[in-house]
């Protein structure tokens, strides 16, 4: 039986996919006041998604493909890719949809406002 190398397994795993190479996640501070909420709404108006994971950590997802992707959706710098890329693995691969660390996702202003009214006191005075 032929044993596949790690690179061969990854190539098979990533074949025609590149989901994890199509966006970046940026940590943001948890909103504490109306100015913070306004900033979050601004993100949403620019088609940026907002997520909360571990019930406390806020991040934004910006859809922007990696410039090192080939037209075959493979990494052109695979052997020299950044550590962030190296950290991806089959246990956290979105392709298989069995990994979702996010508790909440916001794509619209109304979703965010509903969450803030239910789980925070930021909007109580307004």
Q: For residue 56, give both structure tokens.
A: 């406390």
49-67: pLDDT as tens digits? 999 988 899 999 999 999 9
Collapse the DSSP code of 19 into the 3-class scheme (helix H, G, I; strand E, B; otherwise coil) and give the result.
helix
**pLDDT tens string 16-41:** 788 889 999 999 999 999 999 999 99
> Percentage of residues in the chain with pLDDT exceeding 70?
82
How many CA atoms within 13 Å lie on the side-chain side of 81? Answer: 17
Tokens, residue 94: 């979105």
Q: Provide the residue ranges of all domains of the chain, joining segments of one domain with +.
A: 6-119
Rounded mean pLDDT, 114-119:
94
For the sheet containing 23-28, what is the strand order? 23-28, 57-63, 49-53, 102-106
Quick one: pLDDT at residue 43? 98
CA distance 105 to 65: 21
12 CB-side CA count, 13 A: 7
Place of tokens 């909420």: 37
pLDDT mean across residues, the chain: 87
Q: Exposed, middle or buried by CB within 10 Å (0-12, 13-18, 19+), for 125?
A: exposed
């Amino acid at each position: 039986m032929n044993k596949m190398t790690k690179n061969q397994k990854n190539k098979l795993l990533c074949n025609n996919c590149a989901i994890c190479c199509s966006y970046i996640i940026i940590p943001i501070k948890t909103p504490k006041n109306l100015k913070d909420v306004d900033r979050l709404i601004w993100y949403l108006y620019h088609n940026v998604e907002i997520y909360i994971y571990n019930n406390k950590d806020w991040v934004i997802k910006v859809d922007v493909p990696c410039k090192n992707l080939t037209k075959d959706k493979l990494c052109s710098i695979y052997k020299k890719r950044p550590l962030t890329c190296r950290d991806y693995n089959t246990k956290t691969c979105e392709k298989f949809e069995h990994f979702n660390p996010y508790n909440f996702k916001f794509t619209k202003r109304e979703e965010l406002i509903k969450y803030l009214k239910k789980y925070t006191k930021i909007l109580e005075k307004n």
